[in-house]
A = this chain, B = another copy of it.
């Protein structure tokens, strides 16, 4: 069946790193600097469906990612979510396990001549703001994160 996450697996441009069971991509929307998507390599359909190995590997992803983003951009907090609503908009439902992670910043962050301001720090992430970042700057963000992995 058609699966966006499975198709996205070959996206080499936005890939930050991968582990045995997960691929970590920088999101094109960088309202929250370092915002990324963590895709399960397997077409797992729910969090209940994840194996012990996949969970332990995910725990390592979380540690590695949070440490690198703190070191790169001085993030204060990370909002993690696994919702998968989009897969339930048309039948047959075909979810693929992934997480969204939004780093949150008390102070404004500046990188590659761009200012990133977390205007609602301490509150739920905003879903209206979209800050699409040109691919050249995304590449620089990815390079910086990679150096700190």
Secondary structure call for the A interface: mixed
A52 proximal to B (CB < 8 A)? yes
Provide the residues of chain B in CB contact with A48, threshold 8 Å: 62-63, 66-67
A124 touches B83 (CB 8 A): yes
Give chain A's interface residues, CB within 8 Å of chain B.
Answer: 46-48, 50, 52, 55-56, 58-59, 62-63, 66-67, 76-86, 88-89, 93, 95, 104, 106, 121-125, 127
A59 touches B66 (CB 8 A): no
B46 touches A78 (CB 8 A): yes
A47, A124, A127 interface centre (most CB from chain B within 10 Å): A47
Interchain CA distance A130-B9 in the complex, whole Å = 38
B77 touches A80 (CB 8 A): no
Interchain CA distance A105-B86 in the complex, whole Å = 14
4 further A-B pairs in the complex, CB-CB below 8 A; given A46-B66, A76-B93, A124-B127: A47-B78, A79-B82, A81-B82, A88-B122
Interchain CA distance A86-B76 in the complex, whole Å = 13
Q: What is the distance, in angstroms, from A4's C-beta to the closest C-beta of chain B?
A: 15
A48, A50, A52, A127 interface centre (most CB from chain B within 10 Å): A48
Interchain CA distance A29-B29 in the complex, whole Å = 31
Provide the residues of chain B in CB contact with A63, threshold 8 Å: 48
B66 touches A47 (CB 8 A): yes
